[in-house]
């Protein structure tokens, strides 16, 4: 791994939080991700399943975490199963977790080889009444691939039909949404790496560069700062491309007068950052671009102030919509009749701002976290309003990542990343 090893105390705390919400006499199991094939002997780069990483820090394929707080033998209350390594694997694939290293990384004393799992699991299931299955229940998920977790669930339901089943997801939603200080520090590192990339491209961008060249500049800066690269597929959209919300081709040339919407950010230690900035390709905003940009920035600043403990996510979005409506009227894009005659299910402002303003961020860019209950301190949200005007060939979005504080305004993890018009123009033209 490129990142510095994380203190295992984080994972010890995370496991304690999870186990505190488990039913009596229950076992929870978490599987690593598969290594996914491309074709022939090629595979995609391995990405660890976020839940097992959150609870153990084990960033390796073919790994299983078992939690059983009521196990008769105390050494079986937390077990990590890892792939047995040997000299052949070390030569061809590099070093893998030894038992001692697995304990150092995770804080789990009992580590077995993966080949022992079925035997140990059978023995412990004789003591348990309930098995927690780790299903993906994120509100945006649309997974078609059968995962290692899916196969495990299928197998256990067949082999242990007399056991009760429970879901780990409600617990994960509850605890992953509120970040520990160590997690916020890792996310700050990801944001700091993102800042370095953004400052680099401000000196690089000019009319005639290609969107993919900008992508390459970011990637260079991210990797040289211990990131694997982009936290999600980067959007680098010049001119009218910015009106395609998930434009990822990044294959067009920047023209004089274009703005460039860049929705991209670095990951660090599997933690995401999520930034959007919109800059003038020639280093100078036009008066109209400034006008729309300033409106988006005002919405972002006002929306940020509302992210405080007790705020309800759905109500928050309604309030942001009211602020955006006022700004769009000021820009001449809406009039009062549009608002008076709007469909309540699709308000008038949605013509120019059709996506949400905030989502949880953490190990996943669209992270787990409760959305129907009041917001809590140490939740981390994006704030990302935008205005999209295809008729003017312009789309502007601005986005920061902020931590909800117990008191006062949220703490902006991207506070050092330039966003004001004057600073951006100055840095692009120095």
How far is Cα 236 from Cα 275, in angstroms, rounded to an integer?
A: 12
How far CA 115 is from CA of 62, 85, 119, 298, 421, in Å, comes to 10, 12, 9, 57, 59
Q: How many CB atoms lie within 10 A of CB 18?
A: 23
Q: How many CB atoms lie within 10 A of CB 245?
A: 15
- Is residue 399 within 8 A of residue 380, CB to CB? The reply is no
- 256 and 367 belong to one structural domain: yes
User: Is residue 3 one of the residues assigned to a domain?
Assistant: no
- Residue after which a domain boundary falls, among 176, 203, 223: 176
292-347 per-position pLDDT tens digit: 999 999 999 999 999 999 999 999 999 999 999 999 999 999 999 999 999 999 99
- Is residue 362 within 8 A of residue 380, CB to CB? The reply is yes
117-126 per-position pLDDT tens digit: 999 999 999 9
- 185 and 106 belong to one structural domain: no
The backbone torsions φ and ψ at residue 91, rounded to the nearest 5 degrees and listed phi first, read -70, -45
DSSP string, 258-276: -EEEEEE-BEETTEE--EE
pTM for the full model? Answer: 0.96
How far is Cα 28 from Cα 148, in angstroms, rounded to an integer?
A: 15
CATH number for the domain harbouring residue 77: 3.40.350.10
- Residue after which a domain boundary falls, among 123, 150, 176: 176
Tell me the residue length of the chain.
430
227-259 per-position pLDDT tens digit: 999 999 999 999 999 999 999 999 999 999 999
How far CA 114 is from CA of 31, 192, 235, in Å, comes to 11, 37, 40
What single-letter DSSP state applies at residue 233? Answer: -
- 205 and 269 belong to one structural domain: yes
- 142 and 270 belong to one structural domain: no
Domain total in the chain: 2
What is the Cα 198 distance to its own chain's centre? 19
- 258 and 399 belong to one structural domain: yes
Q: Which two tokens mark 255?
A: 């023209």
The backbone torsions φ and ψ at residue 80, rounded to the nearest 5 degrees and listed phi first, read -115, 130
What single-letter DSSP state applies at residue 285? Answer: -
User: Is residue 2 one of the residues assigned to a domain?
Assistant: no
Q: Which domain covers residue 90, as residue numbers?
A: 9-176
User: Is residue 193 one of the residues assigned to a domain?
Assistant: yes
- 327 and 224 belong to one structural domain: yes
User: Is residue 243 one of the residues assigned to a domain?
Assistant: yes
């Amino acid at each position: 791994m490129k990142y510095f090893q994380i203190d295992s105390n984080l994972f010890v705390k995370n496991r304690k939080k999870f186990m505190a919400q488990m039913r009596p006499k229950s076992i929870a199991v978490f599987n690593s991700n598969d290594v996914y094939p491309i074709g022939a002997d090629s595979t995609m780069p391995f990405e660890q399943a976020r839940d097992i990483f959150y609870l153990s820090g084990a960033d390796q394929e073919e790994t299983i975490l078992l939690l059983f707080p009521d196990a008769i033998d105390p050494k079986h209350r937390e077990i990590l199963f890892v792939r047995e390594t040997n000299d052949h694997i070390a030569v061809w694939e590099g070093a893998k977790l030894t038992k001692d290293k697995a304990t150092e990384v995770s804080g789990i004393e009992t580590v077995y080889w993966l080949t022992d799992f079925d035997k140990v699991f059978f023995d412990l299931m004789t003591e348990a009444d309930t098995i927690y299955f780790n299903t993906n229940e994120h509100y945006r998920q649309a997974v078609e691939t059968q995962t290692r977790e899916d196969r495990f669930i299928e197998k256990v339901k067949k082999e242990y039909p007399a056991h009760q089943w429970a879901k780990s997801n409600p617990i994960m939603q509850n605890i992953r949404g509120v970040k520990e200080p160590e997690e916020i520090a890792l996310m700050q590192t990801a944001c700091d790496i993102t800042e370095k990339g953004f400052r680099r491209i401000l000196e690089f961008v000019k009319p005639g560069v290609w969107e993919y060249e900008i992508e390459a500049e970011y990637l260079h800066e991210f990797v040289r700062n211990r990131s694997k690269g982009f936290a999600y597929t980067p959007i680098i959209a010049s001119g009218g491309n910015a009106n395609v919300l998930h434009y990822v081709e990044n294959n067009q040339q920047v023209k004089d007068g274009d703005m460039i919407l860049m929705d991209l950010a670095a990951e660090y230690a599997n933690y995401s950052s999520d930034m959007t900035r919109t800059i003038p390709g020639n280093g100078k905003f036009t008066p109209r671009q400034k006008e729309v940009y300033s409106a988006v920035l005002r919405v972002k600043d006002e929306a940020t102030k509302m992210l405080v403990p007790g705020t309800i996510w759905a109500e928050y979005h309604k309030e942001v919509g009211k602020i955006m409506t006022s700004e769009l009227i000021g820009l001449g894009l809406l009039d009062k009749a549009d608002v008076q005659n709007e469909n309540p299910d699709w308000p008038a402002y949605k013509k120019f701002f059709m996506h949400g303003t905030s989502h949880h961020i953490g190990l996943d860019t669209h992270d787990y976290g409760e959305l129907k209950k009041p917001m809590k301190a140490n939740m981390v949200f994006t704030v990302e309003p935008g205005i999209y005007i295809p008729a003017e060939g312009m789309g502007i979005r601005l986005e920061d990542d902020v931590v909800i504080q117990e008191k006062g305004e949220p703490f902006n993890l991207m506070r050092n990343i330039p966003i004001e018009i004057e600073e951006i123009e100055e840095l692009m033209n120095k």
